[in-house]
Structures are given as structure tokens and as C-alpha cells.
Structure 1
Amino acid sequence: MEPAPAPTLRTLLGHPELRLSLVTAEDALPEGALELPVRWVHSSDLVDPTPFLADDLLLLTTGSQFAERDEAGVTAYVARLVRRGVRALGFGSGVHRLGPPDELVTACVEAGLALFDVPYDIPFLAIARAHAEAMAAHAYARRTWALEVQRALAVAALRPRGLEATLAELARRLGCWVGLFDSSGAIAQEHPEPLPHGGEAVADAVAELLARGTTASRSLDGPDRTVTLFTFGRSGQLKGVIGVDLSPIDAEARAVITTAIAMAGLSLEQSEQLARGRRRMHTQLLASLRADDPALARRTLGALPPAPMLVAVAVGAPVDAVVGWFERQRAVGGTVSFVAEDADGLTICLGSSSRALLDQVSERFGIRMGVSEPAEYREFAHAHAQAMSALQRSGGDGVIEYHDVGSGGVLDALVSSETRTLARTRLAPLRAHDATAGYELERTLRVWLEHDAHSEQTAAALGIHRHTLRTRIAQAAALLGSDLTSFPARAELWATLRAAG
């Protein structure tokens, strides 16, 4: 744990050799006034010493500046000290008068300023020296504590789960909450327990820091806590954010936190190197699975998602973030998954009972993915082809089921952007004629083919005479340069019309 806090007014009053006595009743002071740290001790008999004072100090005076019964002047004097941030006022008794004047005692009580009496035989220098020695001892204890904690963090980093052990040790040594957010802004670790409240504001601040992409820190002040956030990693390549629920953070605590941040960055860098090697291995295992041979993957990984399984393929997905997300699902919920990247995109394999995770990851990272029907591992290649087909044949967002896009038949499955362009080019003369002449040759052909080229049924469906129908069919055949009396020509025309849309 941390050493004792910095010397306070109560610490100074506790020195028996100084024999200092509090004049202002403690219950008349603001709560905790005697526990506030005192930076330094200064002496002055000026009417207005505030231009020469620093914050959080203790002022000593002999009272020579006070005129007899100048109540207004004394009140103004005390008010100036309070505004300047003076912690307490010590009155040197016996130099000009025995004990502080009543006007000063009253003014200090009304202003909530601690007033204490300094015996005549105690020099101000002795008080300043006692406080300086206490400050030096505290500074030495803090530096010793910081070195000890840094050594403890280094030892923790060598444990099997080094990053987790390091952050747990940091939380224990600082006696506060410590959280780790990954590069996506998700909370990855919390020690010793989750932040009780205010987590949403902290998460929003983390997202803002990561969006900037530069190394930075930020403090969030709440009603009962101050959470300080520190990014780690290089600018443009941030690895995440570490949050600490600690205030104030002095130089020693900041040095300890900086050490933990450096170790976290090193640990994640090593983890990323291992992850890159693991991704290369998974790519090779994916090739084996796509050959419908799961034996190598089972021997290497020890376990695959239970069959029947689903295969999903996503293009343009943030690989590291998605892999990390599924690893957390396995650590938290025990869900076994297989994620690998190859030239076709990111392949995700899950047991069919874990289908809902695909919706979650798609929504979280804003990615499109095609999903196969449930299959056994001996059908992995077929399932992968289904997922690719679902992704390519649908322009929708989110998770696209092969079952939903595979019901259009073989002709729809053959349609691609190249086929669609070719079909529209083939029909361009027909559409141009319809646009200028006001005819409906394309619609006539569609209805004619839908009625198996029966003239009377088609004419009735279109509401025209059968001779008009024959004329339109002949015109369309001439524009297309095709003999529509043969079945192959009619079949090709039907495929063209379906592809053109």
C-alpha cells in the first residue's frame, strides 16, 4: 500500500517539542481542515503578505501589523489569507502581546481558518525546519514506495498472464480502480472490481481519446471520484487506454502509472506478434478446412466449434478487433469459435447454437457478412461457398443468410455485376426503341415468354390483338438480331431479361 500522506497541520501540531496549541476549536473549522497537506511554512508581519505567498502553506506572524482594536482591518487580513489559500495561521505569542487578539480569533472562526498559538521560546525557524524534515521524510518514503511498486510491477509482468497481473498489482498498490480499454474502446479488464457507476461517461471519454489517435491523457471529475485516462501506444497506432480512479496523482504515482503503461504497451506488442503468427497458422488451417479436412485443425487447436456449424464470411472487417472480440467471448462465455483470414475475406466458424453472436459482432463493428446454412465439417467448402454467395448476391447490410438469397433459383445465382452489364447492353436497342416510339416491346417479350410463347394467351394478357403481338415480336427480334422461333434463343432472351432487372 501507499505510504502515509503528506504532512498536514495536524502532523505539525503533533510535534511535542514545538508545543503548538490550536486556538480555533476544531469543530468550528471546515471538515478535514486539519488533514489538508501543508506544502511549506512561511513567516511575515506584513499587512498584506499574499503577493509573496504560495498555495497551501502555513503562515506565521508575531502580530505587529495589527493595530489596537482594528476589527475591520483584522477581518480583511484574514479574508485575504483565505482567498490566497493559506491553510492555517500561527501567532507568535509574547513578542508584541501575549496570545492572539480577540479580533483575530473571531475573524479566524468566522472565516474557517485554523489559528494556533506558538510559544515565545519556540522560534519560527524551528517550526519551518520540523515541517521541512517531515516533507523530506515523506518525499523519501514516496520515492522508496514508487521504486518498490515498479519492481513489483516488473515481477507481475513475468507471470503467465502478465498484463492482467500487472494491472491487478497496480490496483492493489494504488488502492483504487484500474481499468484497461482495448483499441476498439471496449473494457477488457477491471481491477479489483467493475467501476460502480459513471462507466458510461468513462467509456465515452475513452472513445474520444482513441478517435483522436494521438497519445494523450484526460481527467473526468465526478461528484465522488476523479478518473484519469492515459492512452498507450504510438500516435496513429494506439493500443488502448488505461483508466485510474485516483486523485490527486503526484509525481511518484504518475511514475508508477507510466511504468504500468509502458509494460502494458510492451505486453500488447508481444501479444500482437504472437497474434500475427497465430493468424498465419489459422490461414493455413482454413485452407485445410476448405478442403473438407478438419483433422489438422482439430489436432492443432484441440477443439473446433461443435457441429452442425455455421460459416460466415465478411469483407473489409477489422481483423484484429473481431478476433479479439471472439477471444473475449470464449474467455467469458466459453464459446468456441474459429476465425481466419484469407484472400476471400474474414471467415468465422461457429456452432449453429451461437448464431446470435454474428448479429452482435456485425452491429458492433458495422460489417456485412454472408452466413451459410448449418453444415457438418465434411461440407465446410460447400458452406463457405454458400456464405460467399450470400455476401455477393445481396446488397443489404448486416448479416445475410444464404437461405434468404438462395431461394431465387439457378438463374439468379448466375447473375453478377458483369452479367447484369452484359444483359443491359444486349437490351439497349430494345429499350431505346421503346423510349422513342412509346411501344412496350420489352414488356411484350416478358409476358410472351411467361406464357410459353402462346400468342392467344399473351395477347389476352396484354389486351392487344394477336396480329399486333406478332408484329411486336418481329420488331423485337429484328432489334435484337435474334431468331426467336428457336428454344435456345428464347431461353437466352429470358435469362437476359432476368439479369437486366
Structure 2
Amino acid sequence: MTDPQPTLRALLARRDLDLRLASDEAALPADALDAPLRWVHSSDLADPTPFLADDLLLLTTGTQFASLSGIDGDSVEYSAYVARLRTRGVRGLGFGTEVVRDGIPPALAEACRDQGMPLFEVPYRTPFIALARANAEAIAAQAYARRTWALAAQRAISLAALRPDGLAATVAELARQLDAWVGLYDATGRPTHAAPDPAPDGAIADALAAEAGAVLRRGARAASTLEIAGHRVTLQTLGRGGHLRGLLAIVGAELDLEGRSVVTSVIAMAGLALEQNVGLDRARRALRTGLLHALLSNDPTLARRVSRELWGALPTAPVVVAVAVVAAARADAAADWLELRVAERRGALFYGRSSDGLVVVIPGGDGDTLPQLATLFNAAVGASDLTDYPAFSRAHTQAIAAARRAASGTVMPFADTTGGGVLAALDTLHARALADRRLAPLREHDDQHGTTLTATVRTWLEHDARIDEAAQALGVHRHTVRARIAQAQQLLAVDLTSFPARAELWAALVAAA
């Protein structure tokens, strides 16, 4: 992928410039002659650093030293001069000979050696502008070569995308063009295509998969560069924000402007290829929803016939019916993950969408699908008791009830929701709102008049509507309890001598607690 950058070594190699390296290359820093040069500039100022840029080659005739203490003067001046250049980021110093003196001043050569600054001689017959022009030509040539490479790479990748295995071929061609490892991950963070072999070692692969999964779970479009185990990694999501279709990972490539343009073209093509599947996915999910409605009618005949043709047989009874409540931004990714599980485990999983969430049907012995679904997508999952298909609707109702009690990222079996009895199901916002409205007359009277009608009614009901036991528990006379109950009946406009009325009032007290 890389082309030679304009460097001091490249200038020294040009015979038309006739430059001579005055430094001992072995004594220079490792990349001193091969670091890229942005420009070549000339100056005879004693301190040119305010007018210089980083990664620059400086040329001088030494006039500034002659005006100070003589061209062969104090070595301290030369040392300070070179130190300023080094601090500013100058990559090398060229001395034009036969202008002020023949050859390079020994004190300057010594200062450059001490500072690790490459020093070279520019003969009189070589004008400084020739070096600047040569470096500019090298920069232009490199830019042209990079643009040519980018166009050729994009063409090769476009041709690869036309192959039957378009995505896999695109990933392989991008890896070849970048001379790097490239991996494509689906919306769930699972690797689907990668090139070349061998893949990164286990530690890198695990860290990469974890990072890819974290980026995709956030659901927002993103591009990032990070380092994993000493390798430079570039990550780029595919698809729209809130509807990510996957992620592209590149390991071991330093991407310049042209390299990023090639990657951008791949992202566009891969994203388009994945988005083109949306219509098919929508039709598939609509069919699944229709089959789910058929199952809810407790007649699995149609669902069995269609499922067998498309995805394999329905899971063998007895089955568990589950409802997973997933945030909207993650719902598509969760459905994609379930679709992959269906393909991997033909006949061992069915799912569909309903207004209550994703409905999943698994065999009774499957102990990992629901926990993984809950963990990967922070879903609240409710699971029914074991059931046969003729009782599917009842199991679905159980799953909905359990899902409402489940915390995000957990699975709640319906059996675990029954410990509190039927009244425990009253712990909902709607039930509390109804209870608050039903008890409002008692509470308002208590607040305005300082009475304890609400507490008296609760105690009376707790003691099976027995006046004497309630009076003893409250520490008041039985006539007081009787009067308070009568007043509560009047405020609530209800006859508490009937069991249904007392049961409804008790349910309101439980829900409002």
C-alpha cells in the first residue's frame, strides 16, 4: 500500500544535485534520513526557527556565523544554533559551500554530530532552489501515486463486490490492497467475513470482538482508531444510526487520506449491500408475525407447514414460550441475532414479533438462548412454563406476565412470579393509579379532618371484617370501629357487607401500598 515518501535519503541519492552527507550515518538516529520531508527552506538568520515548520529541511550558507564571531568562531554558537533547529523539528541541515567558505565549518559539524542532526554539503553549482524543487516534485509524484493507487484499489474492490460472494470478496480485496487484516462483523458483533488467514491471535481477536460488540450496542454511527495489543485498529460502523447493520475492523494499517477514501468506498458498498436486505428481512419478519398469530390460535398446523419449508420444523414440544422486551434501538439487532440462531439450529428455535416484544419458542432443554438474548441486548425476558402447542396462547400470556416482572438483562420464569399469589400481579402503574383513585375519598377525609379511616378499614379487612378483633388491634372501642366503617362506606359509596366489595377494596389497598 505504501509508496516511498520524500526524504533526505531520496535527495542524497539524486546524482544531479551532487549532495554529500557529512554526518556519519551510523551515528545518526535510526530514521534520520528516512523521515518524511514537508518542504525545503533556506535561511541565513541566526535564529530562523520562528519562520520554520515541522519536518523541514533547512539550507544555509553560514553568513550568520561570519557576522557574529567569524565562520570558524565559537563552537558554543554553533551548538546553540543546531539545538534550536532540533527543538523546532528540523529534519536536516544543508550547508552551501564556496559562498562564505570552502567546506563545512568543523564547529558546525561537531554541533550536528552532538545533536544527532543530519548534515550535508550543497556544492556551489547546486542552487538551493533546485533542492526545493526536487522535494516538491517528489511530494507531487507521491501524491499522484497515492491517488492512482486509490483509484485502482477502488476499481478492484468494485469488481470484487460484483462477485456472487460479494461481501466476502470485498473484504478480501480490501485486505489485499491495505496489506492488513480486515474483518466484517454483523449487527450482533459476530464476525462473518475476514481476510487474510491467519486471523489475529486469540487475545487480539477477543479484545476486538468485545470492542466491536460494545460499539454496536451503543447503536450510534461511529468511527474510531485505537490500539489493541500493540496493533493499530480502525473501526467503522455500517448502516444508519439506531439501525446499525454491522462493523468493519482493520488491524495493522496506517490510513492516509487516500487509504481512508478506499475504506470509505468499501463502507458505502457494504452498507448498501446490507441495507438491500432490509426489504427481504421485512417480508420475512411479516411472515413470522403471521405464523405467530397462527400459533396464538392454538392450532400449529399452518405454522408447522410453512416453517418446515423455510426454516426447519418448529421446536419439538414441550416448549418454552418467551417474550423479550428490547429497546427500540436494539430490536433489529436482536432480531438479526435470532435469525442467525435459527439458521444455525434448524428446528430448535422459532421467533416472531408482537406488540409485546420478540416472541421466542425454544425446546424445554435449551438453557442458553434466553440468557444470551437478555445479556447481549439488555432485554427483559419472561419465560412460560413448559407447554404444548395447543396451549400456546396460555403460555404466551404467562411469558408476557413474567416479562413485566423481569429486570433488564435478566430472564424471569413465570413460575417465579407466582410466589406472591394473584395479588402480586397488581404491582403495575395502571393498577396503582386505579387504586389511588378508588381510595381518594378516604385519604382526603383523613387529611382534612385528621381521621384514620383508611387505616381502620385496612385493619378491619385484615381481621376478616370482624369488628371486635379490629377494635382490639387498633386499641379503640368496637363502636368506634363500627362508626368508622359506616363512614367509609358512605364516602366510598359502596356496601361493605358484601364480599365482592370488600375484596375489591382490599385489592386497592394492596396495589396502593
TM-score computed with the length of structure 1 as normaliser: 0.77
Amino acid at match of 1:169: E
Give CA deviations for 1:407-428 in whole Å, capped at 9, x if unaligned: 5556767998777766776677
Amino acid at match of 1:444: W
- Classify the secondary structure of the residue corresponding to 1:88: strand
What corresponds to 1:76 in structure 2? Answer: 80
- Classify the secondary structure of the residue corresponding to 1:27: helix
CA distance in 1, matches of 2:238, 2:252: 18
Contact persistence 1:37–1:56 (CA under 8 A)? yes
What corresponds to 1:443 in structure 2? Answer: 459
Q: Report matched runs for 1:159-308 at 5 Å.
A: 159-160=163-164, 162-178=166-182, 193=199, 196=204, 199=207, 203=211, 219-220=225-226, 224=230, 226-228=232-234, 230=236, 242=248, 244-245=250-251, 248-292=254-298, 293=300, 294-295=303-304, 296-305=306-315, 307-308=317-318
CA distance in 1, matches of 2:166, 2:210: 25
Shift of 1:372: 0.9
Contact persistence 1:210–1:238 (CA under 8 A)? no
- Cα 1:97–1:37 change in 2 (3 A) is same
Does residue 310 in structure 1 map to residue 303 in structure 2? no
CA distance in 1, matches of 2:347, 2:99: 80
Does residue 111 in structure 1 map to residue 115 in structure 2? yes
CA distance in 2, matches of 1:251, 1:416: 56
CA distance in 1, matches of 2:147, 2:48: 33
Does residue 145 in structure 1 map to residue 154 in structure 2? no
- Cα 1:21–1:418 change in 2 (3 A) is closer
Bigger shift: 39-48 or 71-80? 39-48
Does residue 9 in structure 1 map to residue 8 in structure 2? yes
Contact persistence 2:326–2:378 (CA under 8 A)? no
Shift of 1:115: 1.1
Amino acid at match of 2:506: L
- Cα 1:202–1:191 change in 2 (3 A) is farther
- Cα 1:176–1:432 change in 2 (3 A) is same
Contact persistence 1:44–1:61 (CA under 8 A)? yes
- Classify the secondary structure of the residue corresponding to 2:386: coil
What corresponds to 1:369 in structure 2? Answer: 381
Contact persistence 2:97–2:103 (CA under 8 A)? yes
Contact persistence 2:383–2:399 (CA under 8 A)? yes
- Cα 1:460–1:148 change in 2 (3 A) is same
- Classify the secondary structure of the residue corresponding to 1:80: helix
Contact persistence 1:387–1:402 (CA under 8 A)? yes
- Cα 1:344–1:322 change in 2 (3 A) is same
CA distance in 2, matches of 1:153, 1:427: 71
CA distance in 1, matches of 2:86, 2:373: 57
Q: Which runs of 5+ in 2 are unaligned?
A: none
Give CA deviations for 1:165-186 in whole Å, capped at 9, x if unaligned: 4344323322335466777888
- Classify the secondary structure of the residue corresponding to 2:451: helix
Shift of 1:467: 8.5
- Cα 1:13–1:379 change in 2 (3 A) is farther
- Classify the secondary structure of the residue corresponding to 1:313: strand
- Classify the secondary structure of the residue corresponding to 2:204: coil
Does residue 490 in structure 1 map to residue 506 in structure 2? no
Contact persistence 1:390–1:400 (CA under 8 A)? yes
Q: Report matched runs for 1:470-481 at 5 Å.
A: 475=486, 481=494
Amino acid at match of 1:60: L
CA distance in 1, matches of 2:24, 2:389: 81
Contact persistence 2:289–2:352 (CA under 8 A)? yes
What corresponds to 1:154 in structure 2? Answer: 158
Bigger shift: 17-26 or 188-197? 188-197
CA distance in 1, matches of 2:475, 2:63: 120
CA distance in 1, matches of 2:85, 2:443: 91
Does residue 28 in structure 1 map to residue 27 in structure 2? yes
Percent identity over paired residues:
43
Shift of 1:154: 1.4
- Classify the secondary structure of the residue corresponding to 1:314: strand
Give CA deviations for 1:148-172 in whole Å, capped at 9, x if unaligned: 2112221333345544543443233
- Cα 1:242–1:494 change in 2 (3 A) is same
- Classify the secondary structure of the residue corresponding to 1:196: helix
Contact persistence 2:459–2:473 (CA under 8 A)? no
Give CA deviations for 1:329-357 in whole Å, capped at 9, x if unaligned: 66899995433222333222334444444
Contact persistence 1:441–1:476 (CA under 8 A)? no
- Cα 1:202–1:34 change in 2 (3 A) is farther
Bigger shift: 134-143 or 202-211? 202-211
CA distance in 1, matches of 2:225, 2:426: 57
CA distance in 2, matches of 1:101, 1:299: 89
Contact persistence 1:183–1:241 (CA under 8 A)? yes
TM-score computed with the length of structure 2 as normaliser: 0.75
- Classify the secondary structure of the residue corresponding to 1:264: helix
Q: Report matched runs for 1:56-67 at 5 Å.
A: 56-67=55-66
CA RMSD of aligned residues (A): 4.7
Contact persistence 1:370–1:389 (CA under 8 A)? yes
Q: Number of matched residues?
A: 488
- Cα 1:416–1:247 change in 2 (3 A) is closer
